Structure 1
Amino acid sequence: MTDSTLIPSLDQVADRIEDLMARHRLPSVSLAIAQGDRVEARGFGMADLRGRPATGDTPYLLASVTKPVVATLCVMLAERGLIDLDEPLADRLPWLDRQRPGRAGRPTARQALNHTAGFGRYWDFAYDEEPLGIERAADRYGVLIHAPGTRFEYANLGYGVLEPWLAAATGHPLGELLERYLFGPLGLGSGAYGPGAGGADAAVPYTAERHVPYPTITTSHPAASMAWMSAADLARFGLTHTYGSAVLAPGSAAAVRTPGLEDGERYGLGLNVRHPHGVEVLAHAGDMCGVGASLAILPEFGVSAAAVVNQTGSFAHARTACEILLETLVSHIGPEEDTTSPKPVPAGEWAGQVATPFGAVPLRAEVDGAGSVWIEVAGSGRVQARVEEDESYDVMLAAELQLPTPDALRASPWLELALDVGDDRLAGSARAVKHGESGDRVGNCLTHWCELERVR
């Protein structure tokens, strides 16, 4: 464990945090650093732009930093023999066993926790209406794009189905389990779970451009996205994963740090596992409607840092705030720069379909000798696509095209084809997606099985 004098006080970094806020027009940043019994937390800016300042104890929506919270609960329940992480989810959720297009397999809870269950990218948010709900969302979009255990793909749907699985396994709802086994015993008084659960003192989520407040946000996958906590409590929570913590048994702590796959993204049970310059870092970021969050843990130093922001698209700024706190110990906590390039799609014409829950949608792609790509959906006319990189596939093709399904037409105006490339076949995901928050609302990402064969 390092000398605590190497960790800066928040007064020492206040000017840099205020500069970060000013440069990016952030309503507030709340941050905390914890080591042993010491927790220092402070808020900067306004939790509510109508006049309520942020503090280190202000609850914020955690977005995807919910995942390490839920994963830690699962590990604790497994220690007590209340659940089996290697049980197939469909053993208790038979609706997951319905045959769908794509790969076959029965993913386990552990695979859902480390994003190797085989599900594709997915998110949905609702504001003035009810979301699909996890069972309907899984029925429509719970397609196995990869065989379970073979590929990493970050999947909110995997965490989403853990909620009904935990309820079936334990007889208790997830919110009750979190309070009984995690929030209460660890003294995380601001910990809460569910839409609007942060209470009247919580930070108001704002849009990035015009600082319009979001209404109550709901989603079909709250177990991936809907925990609330203050920066102070989030840093306290992070200490459960430092060496010497008595919260988890050694075997459980090791399981959290064990990536689901040795190659590609090194993601354990709810936490990214990185070693910049030889220093072990466990980290997770979150970014969704009106919030950005970052948690970073240095297990060998016994240090945890947390930062939360009440603005869409601000997870990188939250991560920067954590790096400011930890820079005397480690230079960065985010992923290394990726130098890989997308695999080229062979020239020619390809035809196939997108298997949507509303029926098959015809799809064509054409690649010329210079590598330019055009895509056509349901005979609507071809549109040129960008060729991009995707960490879970050989290539991604992105175009301003909309799948003609009721769900996609609601809030997903772009099409991404994330594909593995073969000589005569392209297969993978077709995502109807909305990036950003045009119209002052974050949209959805809906993944479907997609397969094309060479026709010329």
Structure 2
Amino acid sequence: MTPRQTPWPGDPLDAVGALLSEGGPRTDGPSADDEPLGRRLDVAVGAVPAPDVVFALSRDGHRTLRCGGTAPPPPVPRSRLRYELGSASKTFTGLLLAQLTRSGPFSGTEPAAAFLDPGRPTGRDPITLAHLITHTSGLPGLPPGFFSRALPAWHTNPYARCPGERVVDAFLAHRQRRRPGTRWRYSNFGVAVLGHALTAATGVPWEDLLARHVLSPLRLDGIALHPDGPDTDATGHRADGTAPTPPLDAGGFQAAGAVRGTPDDLLTFVEAHLRPSRTPLPDALRTVCRPVLRRGLGHRHVHTMGWFRHPTEHGPLYFHCGATLGQQAFLGFCPGTGTALAAVCTRRFRARDTFVPTAYSLLAEA
């Protein structure tokens, strides 16, 4: 399907613009427990048969949080642990790129290969930073050879067997079959390449780049890219809900899936998109909320820089899901109702996934 794209932020014809600063990006009002909403969250938690489940919802700045699960409560309260986001990490990468384009270093139209292999001819239709974040680069979901290398560690840490050098080498060896920007294809590979391109362009390690431009301004102290141990990080479980999995090692895919965070900070991150003018990143937050691509029959599928966008009776609903070997996450917000949701659980559902439908329905109906 051919996507229709709007001008990229930073282009002369840019129609895509920006959404957070004074007083910090926590809640607007006091932390209050809405009793009816609390009951709905209790039902949502109970509908997810995972060892650990947390639903944190904010409505008009008032937060309600519920924890539960099929396992006994861990020594550290579930609400204080960090959870793996998997692909929902891409929302952080999108915001980082938006901030870098708004603050000046990039326009988004730069060829990624120009940063990863300086001096190399980029060709007539190069893959740009914009193509990578919007999944229109034409790259496959994963690099060639990924599965054969990952197979020995398939049940432990498959991504760890594909370090950054291999990701970059695979990208530079890629031969395009279609002109970038003409087709949407979800790609962990592409977003991982974007992270390496930004690191090469700035000379700043990915972790420091994200901390400097996104985590520190939004005061997200509970967000990290690496595990710290059982007193800090939640333990994931396989599809059976009992067998534990090791902490994720994202290898060369940090930009595509390495973020982990506490429910409190994840909710703070999502809330920021509702009230960008009250944060230090107003323009970047507005940028990632505006459509840059429409696809499908009648262009019903709408995408922004990092978020999927669906229509509801209350206006657009933005969301992104993610999964690792043993955990799942859902982040979303609905500006029309002033509602934001961060939901996490420590089980990787393979079939009859109750987690994502439950989280999505809760946000859409709240």
How far the C-alpha of 1:154 sits from its partner, in A, is: 0.5
**C-alpha distance in structure 1 between counterparts of 2:57 and 2:134, whole Å:** 26
Residue 248 of structure 2 aligns with an amino acid whose one-letter code is I
Q: Please show how residues 123-138 of structure 1 align to structure 2 within 5 Å.
A: 126=153, 127=156, 130-138=160-168
Residue in 1 aligned with 2:128? 108
**C-alpha distance in structure 2 between counterparts of 1:178 and 1:53, whole Å:** 27
**C-alpha distance in structure 2 between counterparts of 1:261 and 1:324, whole Å:** 24
Residue in 2 aligned with 1:319? 356
Residue 133 of structure 1 aligns with an amino acid whose one-letter code is P
**C-alpha distance in structure 1 between counterparts of 2:193 and 2:364, whole Å:** 37
Matched, 1:73 2:96: yes
Residue in 2 aligned with 1:345? none
Runs of at least 5 residues in structure 2 that lack an aligned partner in the other structure: 1-28
**C-alpha distance in structure 2 between counterparts of 1:248 and 1:263, whole Å:** 32
Structure 1 vs Structure 2: percent identity of aligned residues?
24
Check whether the contact 1:257–1:269 (CA below 8 A) recurs between aligned residues: yes
Residue in 1 aligned with 2:272? 240
**C-alpha distance in structure 2 between counterparts of 1:170 and 1:206, whole Å:** 37
**C-alpha distance in structure 2 between counterparts of 1:312 and 1:51, whole Å:** 19
**C-alpha distance in structure 1 between counterparts of 2:337 and 2:73, whole Å:** 40
Question: Which of 215, 220, 234 pairs up with 1:188?
Answer: 220
Residue in 1 aligned with 2:336? 300
How far the C-alpha of 1:263 sits from its partner, in A, is: 2.3
Question: Which of 182, 185, 208 pairs up with 1:150?
Answer: 182
How far the C-alpha of 1:182 sits from its partner, in A, is: 2.0
Residue in 2 aligned with 1:161? 193
Check whether the contact 2:294–2:303 (CA below 8 A) recurs between aligned residues: no
Question: Which of 345, 356, 359 pairs up with 1:309?
Answer: 345
**C-alpha distance in structure 1 between counterparts of 2:101 and 2:80, whole Å:** 30
**C-alpha distance in structure 2 between counterparts of 1:71 and 1:45, whole Å:** 31
Tell me: CA distance 1:273–1:136, structure 2 relative to 1, closer, same or farther (3 Å): same
How far the C-alpha of 1:239 sits from its partner, in A, is: 1.6
Give me the TM-score of the superposition, normalised by structure 1.
0.62
How far the C-alpha of 1:169 sits from its partner, in A, is: 2.0
Tell me: CA distance 1:121–1:317, structure 2 relative to 1, closer, same or farther (3 Å): same
SS at match of 1:208: coil
Check whether the contact 2:331–2:343 (CA below 8 A) recurs between aligned residues: yes
Check whether the contact 1:131–1:218 (CA below 8 A) recurs between aligned residues: no
Give me the TM-score of the superposition, normalised by structure 2.
0.75
SS at match of 1:186: coil
Residue in 2 aligned with 1:346? none
Matched, 1:40 2:64: yes
Tell me: CA distance 1:128–1:79, structure 2 relative to 1, closer, same or farther (3 Å): closer
Matched, 1:57 2:75: no
Residue in 1 aligned with 2:315? 279
Cα RMSD for the two superposed structures: 3.4
Farther off after superposition, 78-87 or 65-74: 78-87
Matched, 1:118 2:118: no
Check whether the contact 1:44–1:54 (CA below 8 A) recurs between aligned residues: no
**C-alpha distance in structure 2 between counterparts of 1:245 and 1:62, whole Å:** 26
Larger radius of gyration: 1
SS at match of 2:136: coil
Check whether the contact 1:35–1:304 (CA below 8 A) recurs between aligned residues: yes
**C-alpha distance in structure 1 between counterparts of 2:119 and 2:343, whole Å:** 36
Tell me: CA distance 1:198–1:17, structure 2 relative to 1, closer, same or farther (3 Å): farther
**C-alpha distance in structure 1 between counterparts of 2:329 and 2:216, whole Å:** 22
**C-alpha distance in structure 2 between counterparts of 1:199 and 1:97, whole Å:** 45
May I ask how many residue pairs the two structures share in their alignment? 319
Farther off after superposition, 182-191 or 33-42: 33-42
SS at match of 1:159: helix
How far the C-alpha of 1:198 sits from its partner, in A, is: 6.9
Runs of at least 5 residues in structure 1 that lack an aligned partner in the other structure: 330-456
Higher relative contact order (CA 8 A, sep 6+): 2
SS at match of 1:26: coil
Matched, 1:12 2:39: yes
Residue in 1 aligned with 2:19? none
**C-alpha distance in structure 2 between counterparts of 1:230 and 1:249, whole Å:** 21
Farther off after superposition, 82-91 or 256-265: 256-265
How far the C-alpha of 1:37 sits from its partner, in A, is: 4.2
Residue 117 of structure 1 aligns with an amino acid whose one-letter code is S
SS at match of 1:42: strand
How far the C-alpha of 1:54 sits from its partner, in A, is: 4.8
Residue 160 of structure 1 aligns with an amino acid whose one-letter code is A
Residue in 2 aligned with 1:267? 303
Check whether the contact 1:45–1:54 (CA below 8 A) recurs between aligned residues: no
**C-alpha distance in structure 2 between counterparts of 1:317 and 1:98, whole Å:** 48
How far the C-alpha of 1:10 sits from its partner, in A, is: 5.4
Residue in 1 aligned with 2:257? 225
Residue 286 of structure 1 aligns with an amino acid whose one-letter code is G
**C-alpha distance in structure 1 between counterparts of 2:242 and 2:125, whole Å:** 44
Check whether the contact 2:292–2:304 (CA below 8 A) recurs between aligned residues: yes
Check whether the contact 2:236–2:247 (CA below 8 A) recurs between aligned residues: no
**C-alpha distance in structure 2 between counterparts of 1:279 and 1:153, whole Å:** 26
Q: Please show how residues 334-413 of structure 1 align to structure 2 within 5 Å.
A: none
